[in-house]
């Protein structure tokens, strides 16, 4: 009897893991299929204190008169610390969102992000992207 309970628990756990992985990839696919573009504002930038090579970026956007706050974790090559903070903090930045589910949104922080959505960054955004690349190296 105990063996059956453990098998059921393991099956439920594996089902949950499969669902979470599928949902992550499905959200990205849906975002690319039906997206809109808005300006968001970065409200907080925090360094990962353990290795200094990643940032947690919190941003907010207003979509259909609803304020959405989300975050993104990025990794990078160089230790840029304070310079990265000054480049990003309180800056307007482009955010893509899924039209049917505005909670599914993502920051555009690299030129490759813009290419992925077939978008062209504005001139002032290009300066910020270049400054990030100089301060961080390759952003993951």
Q: What is the pTM of this model?
A: 0.75
Q: Order of strands, edge to edge, in the sheet holding 66-75?
A: 66-75, 54-63, 35-47, 92-98, 101-107
Q: Around Cβ 72, how many Cβ atoms within 10 Å?
A: 15
What is the C-alpha separation between 10 and 21, in angstroms, rounded? 17
Question: Could you tell me the pLDDT band of residue 101, with boundaries at 50, 70 and 90?
Answer: confident
Distance CA 83, CA 126 (A): 17
Q: What is the pLDDT of residues 24-78, one digit of tens each?
A: 778 888 888 889 999 999 888 887 766 667 778 889 999 888 999 998 888 776 6
Which residues 6+ apart lie within 8 Å of 102 measured at CB? 61, 63, 64, 66, 68
**Cα–Cα distances in angstroms (integers) from residue 100 to residues 15, 33, 37, 64, 121, in the given order:** 26, 11, 13, 11, 24
């Amino acid at each position: 009897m105990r063996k059956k309970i453990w098998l059921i628990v393991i099956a439920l756990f594996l089902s949950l893991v499969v669902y979470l992985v599928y949902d992550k990839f499905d959200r990205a696919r849906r975002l690319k299929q039906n997206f809109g573009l808005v300006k968001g504002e970065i409200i907080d930038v925090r360094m990962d204190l353990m290795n200094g090579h990643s940032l947690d970026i919190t941003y907010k956007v207003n979509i259909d008169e609803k304020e959405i706050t989300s975050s993104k974790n990025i990794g990078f090559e160089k230790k840029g610390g304070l310079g990265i903070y000054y480049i990003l903090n309180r800056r307007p930045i482009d955010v893509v969102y899924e039209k049917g589910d505005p909670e599914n949104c993502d920051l555009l922080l690299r030129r490759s992000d813009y290419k992925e959505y077939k978008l062209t960054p504005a001139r002032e955004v290009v300066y910020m992207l270049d400054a990030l690349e100089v301060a961080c190296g390759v952003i993951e």
